Amino acid sequence: MHKQYDVIVVGAGNGGLAAAANTAIAGLKTLLLEKHNIPGGCATSFRRGRFEFEPSLHELCSVGTAERPNTVYKVFDDLGAKINWEYEKGHIFRTIVKGEDGYDVRLSAGMDAFCESVDAVVPGCKENVRAFLKLKPKIAAAIDYIYATKGNPNGLVMLLKHADFMRTAGHSVEEVMTALGIPKKAQNLINTYWGYLGVPTDELNAMHFLNMLHDYVVDGAAMPKHRSHELSLALIDVIQKHGGEVWYNSEVTKFLYHEDGSVAGVVANGEEIYAREVISNVIPHNVFNMSDPDKIPEQNLKLANAREFGISVATVYLGLDCTAEELGLEDYTVFIMGHPDPRTQYNTRHEDGLYIVNCLNNVIPDSSPEGTSTLFFTIPVFGHDIPKDLKPEDYKKYKNALAKKYIEDAEKCLGISIMPHIEEISIATPVTFAHYLGTPEGTIYGYKLSGWDNLMARTAGEKTDYAIPGLSFCGGHYIRGDGYSCAYIMGDTIGKRVAKRLKGEN
């Protein structure tokens, strides 16, 4: 007798956890299958010596506070998952551009303070910057409406009620900024944030960027007190409290289909397991590779083949034998770049493009043992940026050279001494992320959200792009794309949608 569930969720990353929590709460018999021995995917932690490192999260956006909760705060709160949220105070980031045209600037949190901090560097632009940021609530209202209509919005409503959305939807960040009269230098300052999305701002859809920028400016950047592992464990608690089953070390190797082409279940640990619906936190590419090709609609296969994989990162995690104060670093987030322009930063990403240095102790002082601190370097690169002729025996040397280069550069740019204080070091590349997450090319953001595959196109095409009955997707590879917040929001939305359908409430 085969095991039978209402819902199987494949993958316990952020999207999968939020989806499974919703279906379990709805009283549906839920099974969450995870190939790793702990939950979270990217959202986890790891230990080296006396340090517990955050492997991925720099900051979460759209969290807000208990007094002014934003979407992600509400997702966790509504699920009954209690999180100790901490916030970066004062500034949202420091941005350093090297060289003659360079600058070293801190951009402040809060709408007025942010506009003033840009204006202090590029006088006379604050109202233009404000006009840009003020587009966000209008865009969010339009996106909510489109989701509410399940991707079938009324054209007249869109034109009459969501005109600003219609005007901006097809344009890049830089096109919209230029139309609003924001000078190029101010654009460059603000657009430093492209580094968190992996797409340069002359290509990145304005709505997508605005969603993130606005919420970081208004809400500030949030993070859980006990690394992102805290978020994942809180959701696991919710799932289990509501009767959901979680199986670790359980890699799904096959998706099973009924004769009519609808999904019937999966194979994990060599066992066939059936469900009324399956939710995949695993990227469509991998799902299709685990499926009988005849069962995948041709249009879906073509779409997957046409897509570009999103960016990945190389990272360096350092445990230091001195405090942040002793180190002489007071910022949480510092972006360091060889050039002011995002396109050039992107094109030179493996030479002198852009990298990020985070010191968690400057938000959570006791995030490492007393008298110590941690640094987290992030360098946006693609899996295919790794030299093709790199031999396995040279991989360690490659990683060490990469870490040395960025540590020495940060020492120079920040005027601090890091090397003598290194007690623990760990280095990851897209190979590491491919290994742990199972994603093609080690992508951490699914598919590149740009060009024809932008947020707008994905939202409008939801019905046809993901058209296999009984199978839903959620996670960073899905409609909203990148990051923690988007993955949680999509997992929450899809979990609720599947629960309603199975309970006949649609």
Ligand X SMILES: Cc1cc2nc3c(=O)[nH]c(=O)nc-3n(C[C@H](O)[C@H](O)[C@H](O)COP(=O)(O)OP(=O)(O)OC[C@H]3O[C@@H](n4cnc5c(N)ncnc54)[C@H](O)[C@@H]3O)c2cc1C
Min separation Cβ 482 and ligand X, Å: 5
Query: For residues 58 and 242, which CB has a smaller minimum distance to ligand X in the complex?
Result: 58
34 contacts ligand X (rule: CB under 6 A): yes
485 contacts ligand X (rule: CB under 6 A): yes
What part of residues 388-447 is at the interface with ligand X (CB under 6 A)? 433, 437-438, 444-445
Query: For residues 73 and 165, which CB has a smaller minimum distance to ligand X in the complex?
Result: 73
Among 198, 284, 483, 495, interactor with ligand X by CB under 6 A:
483
N- to C-terminal Cα distance for the chain? 31
Query: For residues 59 and 453, which CB has a smaller minimum distance to ligand X in the complex?
Result: 59
Contact 377, 397 (CB under 8 A): no
The pair of three-digit structure tokens given for residue 47, joined into one six-digit string: 């230990």
- Contact string (CB under 6 A) for ligand X, positions 144-183, x = contact: ----------------------------------------
Min separation Cβ 11 and ligand X, Å: 3
- Tokens 């959570």 belong to 364
User: By rule CB under 6 A, what count of residues binds ligand X?
Assistant: 39
Q: Closest Cα partner for 475 from 287, 220, 229?
A: 287
Give, in order, the Cα–Cα distances in Å from 491 to each of 41, 85, 135, 182. Answer: 14, 20, 26, 36
361 contacts ligand X (rule: CB under 6 A): no
Residues 268, 270, 275, 280, Cα dihedral to 10°: 30
**Residue 113 burial (C-beta neighbours within 10 Å; 0-12, 13-18, 19+):** middle
285 contacts ligand X (rule: CB under 6 A): no
What part of residues 243-282 is at the interface with ligand X (CB under 6 A)? 251-252, 281-282
Supply φ then ψ for residue 157, to 5 degrees: -60, -40
| Amino acid making up residue 248 | Y
3-state secondary structure 19-42: HHHHHHHCCCCEEEECCCCCCECC
d(CA 107, CA 469): 47
- Contact string (CB under 6 A) for ligand X, positions 51-90, x = contact: -----xxxxx------------------------------
Among 487, 494, 498, 499, interactor with ligand X by CB under 6 A:
487
Min separation Cβ 427 and ligand X, Å: 12
Among 29, 36, 138, 229, interactor with ligand X by CB under 6 A:
36
Among 6, 8, 9, 11, interactor with ligand X by CB under 6 A:
11
Query: For residues 93 and 433, which CB has a smaller minimum distance to ligand X in the complex?
Result: 433
Min separation Cβ 269 and ligand X, Å: 10
Which own/partner pairs from 105-112 qualify as long-range (CB within 8 Å, at least 24 positions apart)? 105/189, 106/331, 107/189, 107/190, 109/216, 109/217, 109/220, 109/221, 110/217, 110/218, 110/220, 111/217, 111/218
Cβ count within 10 A of residue 463:
10
Min separation Cβ 363 and ligand X, Å: 13
Query: For residues 165 and 332, which CB has a smaller minimum distance to ligand X in the complex?
Result: 332
d(CA 311, CA 449): 10
Q: Which residues bind ligand X (CB under 6 A)?
A: 10-16, 33-36, 41-43, 56-60, 251-252, 281-282, 313, 315, 378, 433, 437-438, 444-445, 475-477, 482-485, 487
